[in-house]
Amino acid sequence: MTDQPTLSGEEISALMSGAQGEPDGAGSSGAARPFPFGGDAGRPMAVLPAVDRLNERMVRRVRDLIEPFARAKPNVTVEPTVVRSFGDWQAEQGEFASLSLYSFKPMKGAILIRIEPEFVSRLVDAYYGGTGALPTRRAREFTATEESVASRLADTLAAALGQVWSEVVPAQPLLRSRETHAGFAGLAKAEEAIAVSQFTIAPWPGQGATIEILYPVAGLRSLEHLLAAKPSDDVGLTGSDWRRRMGTAVGEVRIKARTVLARPELPLSELMQLRPGDVIPVSLPTHVPLLVEGRRFAIGTIGEHDGRAALKIEKIEQRRFVS
C-alpha cells in the first residue's frame, strides 16, 4: 500500500512539542487539585433513575395535596433529578423561603423540602376565597396563617413522599427543624453533593411555582443497592395491579363539564335590533343539567358556596357501562 497518508513537518513538530511539554508551565489548564481516589464521588449514580420513577408517582400525590389549599386542580410536572454541590444551591437561594428538614430513615442523613414564599401567600389567599393572585410585594417573613399553611403543606408532602418510597424501601420521615434562610439549612456541607428534584405546580393561570426536594448524595448511595434492584415498575404486576394502574391513569383524564342556566328564545327581528343596555328577561329553572361532553350527567340546583356560585348535585343520571 503506497497511498498511506504521511505527516507534514509542521504536524511532526507539533507532536514533538506536545510530548516534551511546554516550558514554564505554558498550556497548563490550572493548578493541580487533590482527588480522593478512595472515594466514589465520580462514580455514576444508578439510583437517580429510581428516584425519577418515584417522583413520577409523587406527581399525582402532590396534585391531590395542593388542590384543597388552592381550591383548583393544579397541573404538576417534575424535572429529572440533578446532582450539584449544596453550596452552589445555597448561593442561588433568596433571603426567604419555607425550608423543612426531615430525617428519612433508613436513608442516612436527612431530606430538605423547599417551598417558595410567594406560593404560600397565594395558597392562603385562595384558601380563604381569593383568586390566588401574586402578592404585590415580596415578603420577608410569614404571617401566622402563612407559617401554619407552609408547615402543614411540608408535613403532608413529607408523609406522601414516605408512602411513595415505602413501595420500594420502607421510609419514615420525621421533622427535624424548620428554617427560612438557606444558610441555616443543615442538610450537608457546602462542598458535598446533593440531588435536587424539582416539581412545578400551576394551580392558576400565569406563572407556576416550584417545590424542591433535596437529598444528600451520600444518603442516596446508602440505599443504592435497594433502589437499583427495582429496574422496572412493571415486573411482576398482576391483572389487578394493571387494572388499578389503568383506573388511576383514566381518572386523570380531564373532560369539560358545563351547565346551562337558561335558553331564552327571541324572534329574529328582535335579535337584529338588540343594542347595548337592552335587557333579555330569563327565568331560572328549579333544576339545571350538568353536561359532560354534550351529554347530561347529573341534575342539580344553583346556589352559593364560599362566596361563589355553585351547583349542588341532586341526582346522577343512570349511566350505561359496556360489559
For the record, the C-alpha cell of 80 comes out as 429529572
Residues 6+ apart with CB under 8 A from 99: 112, 113, 114, 178, 179, 180, 181, 182, 184, 185
Bond prior to 106 in cis (omega within 30° of 0): yes
H or E element that contains 219: helix 217-222
The pLDDT tens digits along the chain (323 residues) read 445 455 556 666 666 665 555 545 444 455 666 555 444 444 546 788 889 999 999 999 999 999 988 888 889 999 999 999 999 999 999 888 999 999 999 888 899 999 999 999 989 988 888 877 777 666 678 899 999 999 999 999 999 999 999 888 888 899 999 999 998 988 999 999 999 999 999 988 777 889 999 999 999 988 887 776 654 445 445 566 667 667 766 766 677 777 877 778 888 888 888 889 888 888 778 888 888 877 888 888 888 877 777 888 888 887 654 44
Locate the domains of the chain by residue range: 47-230, 257-316
Q: At what angle do helices 144-166 and 47-70 cross, to 10 degrees?
A: 140
Residues 6+ apart with CB under 8 A from 307: 129
Alpha carbon of 294 to those of 20, 155, 260: distances in Å? 81, 41, 11
**226, 169 Cβ separation under 8 angstroms:** yes
The sign of the CA dihedral 240, 242, 245, 248 is negative
**303, 312 Cβ separation under 8 angstroms:** yes
pLDDT of residue 30: 58
> Cell match 327581528: residue?
269
Under CATH, to which class is 257-316 assigned?
A: mainly beta
pLDDT of residue 41: 46
pLDDT of residue 39: 47
**74, 202 Cβ separation under 8 angstroms:** yes
Q: What fold, for 47-230?
A: Chemotaxis protein chec (3.40.1550)
